[in-house]
Structure 1
Amino acid sequence: MREESDQFGAVEISKDALYGIQTVRTMQNLSFSGRTLSQYSTYIESLALVKKAAALANQEAGIIDNIIGNAIMIACDSLIKGDYHEHFPIDILHGGGGIGTNMNMNEVIANLANELFGTPRGSYSPIHPADQVNASQSTSDVCHTAIRLAIMKRSEPLFAALDQLIEAIKSKAVEFQDVTTIARTCLQDGMRVQLGDTFSGYSQVINRRLLSLEEATSKLHFINLGGTVIGSGVGAPQAYRDTVVSKLCEVSGIDLAHRENLYDAAQNIDDLARVSSELRILASCLIKLAKDLRLLSSGPEAGFAEIQLPAVQAGSSFFPGKVNPVIPETLIQCCFQVIGCDSVVQSTLEHGELGLNVFEGAAGVNILDAMGMLEKALVTFTEKCIREIEANRERCEELSNSFIPLVVELKEKVGYTAAARLAKDKGNEEIKNLIQNGGFEYDTSNE
């Protein structure tokens, strides 16, 4: 063990830990969720990218010398490639405006960098977590920027999963275009429809939601790094502020720019709220799709039974041979969670106060959670459900020739009023014969 001290006293820390006393304080005082920063590798890597960019800008501005700056950047590179992530034990949802996140990162980088000089962990010499690693920065602009980088990175596999889903549904739309079945409104029988046309509607709505989500996510490219706490930039020399965003573009490979007003950026997180809203709307549309598949596949004897979903596992511990729509139901439950995440995000937007929204971290983490859950659920949904759906062609044909679709066809020949009278007076087979044979003798002169 080693001992570290601050103005609140001393604590003992494992001599092997790369984190220090500020991290321990956060663990002791601000933990509740059971989830740690170490579980969010994309966020850790994004924080390290911000710290690397800051070191480059501080070097160029003469705030730190090249030897110190290079050591910090070497430490950052280790984190960026995925090393040492187990040394981030803080609760991901701690309070304090993200102070624990920033200090955990500062301490790990300082200890890694100091090892290059042969000094032990916890010595913080010649590189101190606050004085060198955090130079010209605050928790506010570091975490604000890093969480947006993390969301942009996390969105990429989600976008890919949505693209694959859209293409899979389009393929089914083509496959089912020659299958005539029945449409329903108000859960009652309606007119004939091609099963492929129904699936084309599914692909279109998901594609539209993807485009809206992509557009909302693109707004996260505007950040406040260099604005320090409230957007004023106090504590960051102008030479640093002039270059730090371009340095971050350089190290991240992402095109970034300052928000138009950095005070606004510190106060308002509506850009995050909009991304979350798009995720919620997407989730609602996916629920509708998954529910439709459950209905269309219901049965196999006492339901709609128009399509058959792939069987992936036993559906019941009670009914032998029963196969349930477990993949669509899994997606539905995932979407319930996404909607819950959005509720949190919208609350964080509403509860921002005065010069800084200190709940921004919770918003970002819930967006990361929502994206991660959706991506995993959609990959399974596409591969184990959509791609293997089959049409029950005989059943669809039977339904397409049921009473209401025939009456709708008759209405096109004789008009609504006459068709309504015929529907009342004649049965299914009689109406079918009328349609097939033509020559209607029904008297409509008194209508």
Structure 2
Amino acid sequence: MRIEKDDFGTVQIDDDVLYGIQTIRTKENLTFSKNILSEYKEYIRSLVYVKKATALANFEDNVISRIVKEKIVDACDTLLQGQHLEQFVVDVYHGGGGIGINMNINEVIANLCNEAKGIYSIVHPIDHVNASQSTSDVCHTAIRLAINEAYEKLAAETADLIATMNRKTNEFMPIATISRTCLQDASRMQLGEKFSGFESVIKRRHKKLTDAVEELLTINLGGTVIGKGEGASTLYKKIIIQKLKEVTELPVSRRENLFDAAQNIDDLVDVSKQLSLFASALLKIAKDLRLLSSGPEAGFAEILLPAIQAGSSFYPGKVNPVIPETVIQCCAEIIGIERVIQATFEHGDLDLNVFENFAGIHLLDGIYMLTKCIHNFRKQCFEGIIANEARCDTLANSRIPQICDLKEKFGYSETIRLLNEQGINEEEK
């Protein structure tokens, strides 16, 4: 064990761990969820990128020495390889605007740099690792980089889903079936036309979401706490964005108004709204597939979904639409996340929104869930959908589609007259 001390007393820390007393304080005082920083690899990686970039800028600005810079960069490169994830132990939901997260990363990097853990004689977690920074601009920047990285996987899965939807659209285009309005029989349509609507809405929502995520690459690093850039030199503020570009290879840029960036998180809200709309579109499609596959004898039964597991512990042989039902639940969660993030925006008082990290973590959670959900939706459901051609043909030639054919030929009023001649009563009309 080692002993570390701060203004609030001393703490015994296992000598094997890389974090220090500030991390322990957050862990002991502010933990209430199961959402621990070590589970958010993109966020850790993004925080490390920020610390690496700031070390490069601080060295160029003569704020830290070459040896300190090299040690910080080496420590960052070690972490970027995915090592020591277990050292990030703070609850990501904590008060203080993310200070526990920032100090966790600062202390781990510092202890990787020094010869003895907790003895910050060469590299200090605040004086060196956190030089020219505040938790506010560090976490603001890193959470946006993390969301951008996590979204890459969601975007790839979505592209695969759109391609699958396109194949099904073409596959089902020769098959005639029935449309429905108000859940009642309507005119004849091609099954592929129905699926083309699925494809189109997902393509549109994907584009809108991608545009919103790209806006997150406009960040406030260099603004320190409230946007004034206190504690950072003019040179540092001039070069830090370029250093971040170099280490991340991302087209990051500085926010036009850094006071606005500290006060308002509407860019995160915009992403959450687009994610919610994306989820709403998926939810609607999942509900439609559930209806279209209902039966198999007493329902619509126009399509057959892949049977992937038993559907009932009571009815032998029953198979349920479990993948669409899972998608519905996932999307409902994401719609709920959007409201949480909206509330987080509203609670940003005066000059700093200290709940920004709370919003960002919820966005990451939503992206993680939807990425996995879309993968399963495509692989275990969409790719294996089969058209029930006999059933579709029966429905395509049922009463209402035939009446629609008459209307196209004779007009609405003449069709009514012809139907009356056939003995159709008013109630049926």
TM superposition score category, shorter chain reference: over 0.9
Partner Cα distance (2:230, 2:421) in 1: 85
Q: Which residue of 1 aligns with 2:225?
A: 229
Q: Which residue of 2 aligns with 1:394?
A: 390
Letter in 1 for 2:134: S
1:258-297: CA deviation from partner (whole Å, max 9, x where unpaired): 0000010000010010000000000000000000000000
Q: Secondary structure at the match of 2:177?
A: strand
Any residues of structure 2 matched to 1:327-338 within 5 Å, and which?
Answer: 327-338=323-334
Any residues of structure 2 matched to 1:60-209 within 5 Å, and which?
Answer: 60-114=60-114, 119-209=115-205
Partner Cα distance (2:257, 2:92) in 1: 28
- Structure 2 unaligned segments of length 5 or more: list them: 425-429
Q: Secondary structure at the match of 1:193?
A: strand
Q: Which residue of 1 aligns with 2:295?
A: 299
Partner Cα distance (2:309, 2:118) in 1: 53
Partner Cα distance (1:301, 1:409) in 2: 27
Q: Which residue of 2 aligns with 1:277?
A: 273
Any residues of structure 2 matched to 1:412-431 within 5 Å, and which?
Answer: 412-426=408-422
Shift of 1:125: 1.6
Q: Secondary structure at the match of 1:129?
A: coil
Shift of 1:41: 0.6
Shift of 1:422: 2.9
Partner Cα distance (2:419, 2:158) in 1: 45
Shift of 1:121: 0.8
What is the aligned length? 424
- Structure 1 unaligned segments of length 5 or more: list them: 429-447
Letter in 2 for 1:204: S
Partner Cα distance (2:203, 2:229) in 1: 41
Partner Cα distance (1:166, 1:220) in 2: 24
Partner Cα distance (2:249, 2:380) in 1: 35
Partner Cα distance (2:212, 2:156) in 1: 16
Shift of 1:425: 4.4
Q: Secondary structure at the match of 1:182?
A: strand
| Alpha carbons 1:45, 1:81 under 8 Å: kept | no
Q: Which residue of 1 aligns with 2:427?
A: none
Letter in 2 for 1:167: A
TM-score (norm 1): 0.94
Q: Which residue of 2 aligns with 1:254?
A: 250
1:102-155: CA deviation from partner (whole Å, max 9, x where unpaired): 0000000000011xxxx2111112111011100000000000000000000000
Q: Secondary structure at the match of 1:131?
A: coil
Letter in 2 for 1:157: K
Partner Cα distance (1:85, 1:22) in 2: 18
Partner Cα distance (1:192, 1:287) in 2: 25
| Alpha carbons 1:327, 1:380 under 8 Å: kept | yes
Q: Which residue of 2 aligns with 1:433?
A: none
Shift of 1:230: 0.3
Shift of 1:250: 0.1
Partner Cα distance (1:234, 1:427) in 2: 86
Partner Cα distance (2:419, 2:404) in 1: 10
Q: Which residue of 2 aligns with 1:2?
A: 2
Partner Cα distance (1:413, 1:81) in 2: 70
TM-score (norm 2): 0.98
Shift of 1:423: 3.1
Q: Secondary structure at the match of 1:300?
A: coil
| Alpha carbons 2:2, 2:15 under 8 Å: kept | yes
1:42-67: CA deviation from partner (whole Å, max 9, x where unpaired): 10000000000000000000000110
Shift of 1:424: 4.3
Letter in 2 for 1:183: S
| Alpha carbons 1:54, 1:244 under 8 Å: kept | yes
Q: Secondary structure at the match of 1:356?
A: coil
Q: Secondary structure at the match of 1:190?
A: strand
Could you list the structure 1 runs, at least 4 aligned residues long, displaced by more than 2 angstroms after superposition: 420-428
Q: Which residue of 2 aligns with 1:369?
A: 365
Q: Secondary structure at the match of 2:320?
A: coil
1:179-232: CA deviation from partner (whole Å, max 9, x where unpaired): 000000000000000000110110000000000001111111110000000000
Q: Secondary structure at the match of 2:12?
A: strand
| Larger mean Cα displacement after TM superposition, 412-421 or 100-109 | 412-421
User: Which of residues 341, 344, 351 is equivalent to 1:345?
Assistant: 341
